[in-house]
């Protein structure tokens, strides 16, 4: 089995920063893309950022210049550094990873349980 465990969410004032982490563990052969989605109340889940195994990052327009995604392949971990946070960033943040399990050929998408980020004064 494979698990993704997130950490780092919480309550922060507008203009503040948070850093999310997501570690993958289990029967992993390789991890391809990793990334973060978010879902605000009453809205659809949307892509925040993702990153290839080689380090090429992609961002939603709404977070460009404020958020930075990175990963540590040796630790099977992806990070999201969030700066200049706005109330509109309030959401549950989910990490995902496209993983090839040991003994398998085809990759599958795995999701974390979600972590709440609240930006409020």
Residue 63 is predicted with a pLDDT of 98
Closest CA to 35 of 66, 61, 19, 57: 57
Looking at every residue in the chain, the average pLDDT score rounds to 97
The model's pLDDT over 81-116, given as tens digits with 9 standing for 90+, comes to 999 999 999 999 999 999 999 999 999 999 999 999
User: How far apart (Å, rounded) are the C-alpha atoms in residues 63 and 51?
Assistant: 14
What is the tens place of the pLDDT at every residue in 40-73? 999 999 999 999 999 999 999 999 999 999 999 9
Give residue 61's pLDDT: 98
Task: Provide the pLDDT for residue 21.
Answer: 98
At residue 75, what are phi and psi to the nearest 5 degrees? -105, 0
- What is the structure's pLDDT at 70? 98
> What count of other Cβ atoms lies within 10 Å of the Cβ of residue 12?
18
Beta bridge partners, 95, equal 36
């Amino acid at each position: 089995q494979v698990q993704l465990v997130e950490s780092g969410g919480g309550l922060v004032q507008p203009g503040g920063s948070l850093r999310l982490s997501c570690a993958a563990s289990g029967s992993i052969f390789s991890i391809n893309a990793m990334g973060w989605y978010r879902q605000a109340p009453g809205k659809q889940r949307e892509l925040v950022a993702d990153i290839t195994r080689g380090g090429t990052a992609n961002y939603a327009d709404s977070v460009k210049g404020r958020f930075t995604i990175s990963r540590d392949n040796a630790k099977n971990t992806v990070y999201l550094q969030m700066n200049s946070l706005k109330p509109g960033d309030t959401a549950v943040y989910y990490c995902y990873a496209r993983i090839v399990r040991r003994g398998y050929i085809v990759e599958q998408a795995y999701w974390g349980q979600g972590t709440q980020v609240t930006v409020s004064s």
